[in-house]
Structure formats: structure tokens, C-alpha cells
Amino acid sequence: MVSEIVSAYLKRVNKAFTLAEVLITLGIIGIVAALTIPTILNNMQEMVLNNQFKKFYSTFKQAFLTLQTIEGRPIKCFYWQESPYKGVCTSTCDVRNEYGECTSDLYCKETGNPLPADYMGSHSECRVLYNDVFKNRLKVAKICEENALSGGCLPENIKGSDIINAEKNPDGVYNPEGEFSDSKIKNTYPAIVLQDGTYIIKFGSKNSVGAVYAFDINGKKGPNKWGYDIYGTIFYGNSQNGIREFKSYGPIESGGKNLTTRLNLLGIK
């Protein structure tokens, strides 16, 4: 009796999985892994980018606001949060190119006169702001006043607005010399590389003034895509307080989020 019980027990213990059972199990594990690992990796990358975004954005914003605090006055480099010309003067353009961009002087529709110098905002101190912030308040490693790509300030795989828009809609026509276009970014716009490897692109030529920038929160590490680790921003403010707000501007690649959306998702004001 005892021998029969022991024999039955040993048979159960020594029973192995069949090859078919092993293959089925591995197949199930493979399917589950294929479905879950990409999501896990994407979530991890999103978390890392969010942390890098918060760190860089805090430094970037504080540099501009600190200057105003130290000066004890508003710095005139912004577009209007609330335009003083609203309802008084509407900008009008007579001539546009094939891309829908104005190529003639803008004028006031109501009066027929040229637009006031501060119609869009106050930009008289943008050059002062640029020199002070980037030379004295941010830890700058390198500046490319032009030819930022060949000068080593930008990654090889960065794309301009014309390339991005063409990828989204191949049937469209996009200005190769337009705002944040591939050529402008790589050959004309100045770029500033900070000591931690992050970089900032200044909209316009080295001699222009303006309140529009773009920044990459993790430098050349990648993905180097607009709306993922590259964000365009435009400064808004008023005469009493100077720069008060940063909003999104510039291209967004498929699946990306603009600056304003990213700030809202992270609860940053």
C-alpha cells in the first residue's frame, strides 16, 4: 500500500510540461510583452521628458523674471496680453505671397495710416534682454550667431516647420524661408548652447530683436522633435509688469504637444 502511494506521488512530481505547453506559454508571454513593453517604455520616456521640461522651464522663466525684479521695472520685450489697440485699429495687408504671408506694409484699416510702432507689443529692449539673460544669467557654453547647424549648436536631425508641415500634409505648399523653416533654423537663427547641453534658438537673425524663442529641454540627446523635447515660445506682457506669460509658438510634430498644452498638463503657471 505504501509503495503504491509513493509511486503515484513520484509520478506526479516527475511529470513535466510537454513541448506544446512550453511553446504556448512562451507565445502568451511574448504577446503580453509585445503589448505592454512599448507602453511602459513610452511612459518612462514621457516621465523623463516631463522632469527635464520642468527643470529647464523653471530656469528659463526665472532668468527673465529675475532681470525685471533686479531692474525694478518692466522690460519692454513682449507682445500684448491685452492689446491697447483692440477695437481701435485692425491691421490690414494688401499683398500676400503664394504661402499666404504678407509681403506689403501693414496699415490700420480704420485710418489707413501705418501701424503704430508698438502695435504688436513693446520690443525696444529685446536686445538688452537677450544680452543680459543669455550672457549673465544662464550658464552659456557656446553661441552660434548664424549657421547654427554647421557650427555645432544644433543636432543633425532637427527639422524646420516646412519639413514638418510637408510630412503632415504632402499636398501642401510651404515656404522654405518662412518662420522656423529648416533653412532659417540651421543657417540664420542664432542658437545658444548651455553648459548642461540644452540649447535655445532665437527667432530672427543675429541683428533682429523680438520676443520669440525655442528651446530643447535635453539638448542633442533626442528625440529632437517639436512638441516632445523642443518647444517654441512667445513672450506676452504689459507696460506695467513687463513679461508675464509664455505661450506656445512654432511648429509641432505629429503626436507632440505645444508649450501651452504641456504647461497645463503639468500644472505649471
Spatial distance between the Cα atoms of 148 and 185, rounded to a whole number of angstroms: 7
Amino acid 6: pLDDT: 45
pLDDT of residue 16: 63
pLDDT band at residue 62 using 50, 70 and 90 as cut-offs: confident
Cβ neighbours, 10 Å, residue 67: 20
Residues 205-232: tens digit of each pLDDT: 888 888 999 999 999 998 999 999 999 9
Q: Model pTM?
A: 0.82
Per-residue pLDDT, 147: 96
> Which amino acid, one-letter code, is at 137?
R
- CB-based contacts of 63, cutoff 8 Å, min separation 6: 133, 137, 138
Please give the pLDDT value at position 68: 85
**Is the pLDDT reported for residue 34 higher than 50?**
yes
Q: How many CA atoms lie within 13 A of 178 on its CB side?
A: 18
Neighbours of 52 (CB within 10 A): 18
Chain segment 71-102, per-residue pLDDT in tens:
888 999 999 999 999 999 999 999 999 999 99
Q: H or E element: which one contains 51?
A: helix 19-71
Q: Across the chain, what does the average pLDDT equal?
A: 88
Q: Which of 263, 244, 268 is nearest to 77 (CA)?
A: 244
Least confident of 42-51, 75-84, 90-99, 124-133: 42-51
pLDDT at 5 exceeding the cut of 80: no
Where would I find the beta strands (DSSP E) of 61-196?
A: 78-80, 91-92, 107-108, 121-122, 140-144, 191-194
Report whether 246 contacts 233 (CB < 8 A): yes
CA distance 77 to 237: 8
More confident residue, 239 or 37: 239
Between CA 166 and CA 21 the distance in angstroms is 50
The span from the CA of 21 to the CA of 19, in Å, is 5
pLDDT band, very low/low/confident/very high, at 142 (cuts 50, 70, 90): very high
Say if residue 15's pLDDT is above 60.
Answer: no
Could you read off the pLDDT of 159-177 as tens digits, one per residue?
999 999 999 999 999 999 9
pLDDT of residue 110: 92
pLDDT at 69: 86
Q: At residue 268, does pLDDT exceed 50?
A: yes
pLDDT recorded at residue 1: 54
